[in-house]
Amino acid sequence: MTVAIDRATGKRRGDRAPRPGRLQRLKHSYQKYWYAYAMIAPVVVVLGVLVLYPLVEGFYLTLTDANSLNSARTIGVNHIEATYKFIGLDNYKDILWGPTSYDRFWSHFIWTIVWTALCVVLHYCIGLGLALLLNQKLRGRTFYRLILVLPWAVPTFVTVFGWRFMLADGGIINSMLDAVHLPSPLWLEDSFWQRFAAIMVNTWCGVPFMMVSLLGGLQSIDSTLYEAAEMDGANAWQRFRYVTLPGLRSVSSTVVLLGVIWTFNQFAVIFLLFGDTAPDAQILVTWAYYLGFGQQPRDFAQSAAYGMLLLAILVVFTSFYRRWLNRNEQQLAI
Q: Which of residues 247-286 bind another protein (CB under 8 A)?
A: 250-251, 254-255, 258, 261, 264-265, 267-268, 271-272, 284-285
Is position 47 an interface residue for another protein (rule: CB under 8 A)? Answer: yes
64: helix, coil or strand? strand
Minimum distance from CB of 27 to another protein (Å)?
13
Residue 107 makes CB contacts below 8 A (sequence gap 6+) with 280
74: helix, coil or strand? strand
- Among positions 314-333, residues that touch another protein (CB under 8 A) are 314-315, 318, 331-333
Binding range to another protein, per CB under 8 A, among 91-99, 101-109, 181-189, 301-309: 301-309
Distance CA 179, CA 31 (A): 76
Residues in the chain: 334
DSSP 276-328: TS-TTT--HHHHHHIIIIISSS--HHHHHHHHHHHHHHHHHHHHHHHHHHHHT
- Among positions 75-104, residues that touch another protein (CB under 8 A) are none
Is position 69 an interface residue for another protein (rule: CB under 8 A)? Answer: no
Minimum distance from CB of 206 to another protein (Å)?
12
Distance CA 168, CA 105 (A): 29
Pick the closer one to another protein by CB: 185 or 217: 217
Minimum distance from CB of 191 to another protein (Å)?
21
- Among positions 146-205, residues that touch another protein (CB under 8 A) are 146-159, 161-163, 165-166, 168, 170-172, 175, 204
Q: Is 80 left (phi over 0), alpha (psi -120 to 50) or beta?
A: beta
String marking each residue 207-226 x if it binds another protein according to CB under 8 A: -xx--xx--xx--------x
Pick the closer one to another protein by CB: 118 or 166: 166
Pick the closer one to another protein by CB: 102 or 293: 293
Residue 305 makes CB contacts below 8 A (sequence gap 6+) with 62, 91, 92, 95
For another protein, the binding residue among 17, 23, 39, 75 (CB under 8 A) is: 39
Pick the closer one to another protein by CB: 13 or 181: 13
Distance CA 129, CA 141 (A): 14
